[in-house]
Amino acid sequence: MDKRSKELRKLVLSAFKSDRRGHIGPTFSLIEILRVLFDSFLKFNPEKPIWKDRDRLILSKGHGCLALYAILADYGFFDKSELEKFCKYDSILGGHPEYGKVPGIEASTGALGHGLAIGVGIALAAKINKKAYRTVVITGDGELNEGSVWESAMSASMHKLSNLIVVVDKNNLQSYGLTRDVIDMGSLKSKWEAFGFEVFEIDGHDIQALEKILSNLPHTGSKPITIICNTIKGKGFDFAEGNANWHHKSYMDDELLNKMSKLLE
């Protein structure tokens, strides 16, 4: 893991130190995906977070919001000190992200299966207005249990939304355990292809692979795109990696937080 990935994880830890709770696993599987999107792909301006021609990013798996908060703070959408107030009474940063409260947050998410529909609306608006901005929706793989995701997938395909990119953070775990044990969805690639998407599958922690895929978009020019990112839940913290028990912790003591900090040295 390189320095930037470690620094972003340290920012997340600074938030964990505040409320001592949060979704650990789903946050750390996302870091590299968000890092590459912000560093190499999305057009945005932290000084003008609602700049009309910006690319839109919707974190449909809202429970991974600390990863997004970290990168938004890193880019100066808000002060990094806000992270230290995570989930506090007067904080702008809650356990799930809210539109209108946090600069850079495009939609309120947290209830799963909502983000893609909103993304379809935003991408369709771009098409109607003949705007060039792109819309990226990040979902979890457990989230794909929600039928509403597939309603929206059909619509995206029907409207030929090639300006819409779905990124699946496929960490193979959901709250109860392995996704394949909770409800086996079979081949996600085949599913998205069957719904009319152009699909890629890569290592979601491989910076170069992510950069390469994103720099070559769009491909067909008529199909929406899905990038299935194979990730590790809790990436960076060996005791949490691939362990469903680390999906969410309601209390993290000093010993644990120190242990996590040392792993980032």
Partner 1 sequence: MRKTCLDSVFKLAKTNKKIIFIGSDLGPGTLEEMRNQMPDRFFMEGISEQHIIGMSAGLALSGFIPYVNTIAPFLTRRCYEQILVDVCLQNLPVRLIGNGGGVVYAPLGPTHLAMEDIAILRVLPNMTILAPCDAVEMELIMNETVTWPGPLYIRLAKGGDEIITNKSEVRKIGKGVEIKPIGKHNFISTGVMTQLTLDAHKILLDDYDINVGIIHLHTISPLDRDLISKTLTEAENIITVEEHYRTGGLGTSILEFCNDNHPEHSHKISRIGIPDEFPKNYGSQQQLIEGWGITAISLSKLMLAKIKNESVS
Q: Contact positions toward partner 1, by CB under 8 A? A: 98-100, 106-108, 110-111, 113-126, 128-129, 147-148, 151-152, 154-155
CB atoms within 10 A of CB 223: 19
User: For residues 1 and 158, which CB has a smaller minimum distance to partner 1 in the complex?
Assistant: 158
Sheet containing 135-140: order of strands: 56-59, 135-140, 164-170, 225-230, 198-203
Min dist CB 32 to partner 1, Å, is 27
DSSP 249: B
Min dist CB 224 to partner 1, Å, is 13
Name which of 40, 64, 16 is nearest 173 in CA terms.
64
Q: How far is residue 218's CA from residue 196's CA, in Å, rounded to a whole number?
A: 15
Min dist CB 74 to partner 1, Å, is 25
User: For residues 65 and 116, which CB has a smaller minimum distance to partner 1 in the complex?
Assistant: 116
User: For residues 37 and 120, which CB has a smaller minimum distance to partner 1 in the complex?
Assistant: 120
Min dist CB 196 to partner 1, Å, is 14
CB contact burial 67-101 (16+ within 10 A = b; e otherwise): bbbbbbbbeebbeeebbeebbeeebbbbbbbbeee
The answer to whether residues 166 and 225 touch, using CB atoms and an 8 Å cutoff, is yes
User: For residues 59 and 107, which CB has a smaller minimum distance to partner 1 in the complex?
Assistant: 107
Name which of 160, 138, 137 is nearest 218 in CA terms.
160
User: For residues 147 and 186, which CB has a smaller minimum distance to partner 1 in the complex?
Assistant: 147
Min dist CB 158 to partner 1, Å, is 8
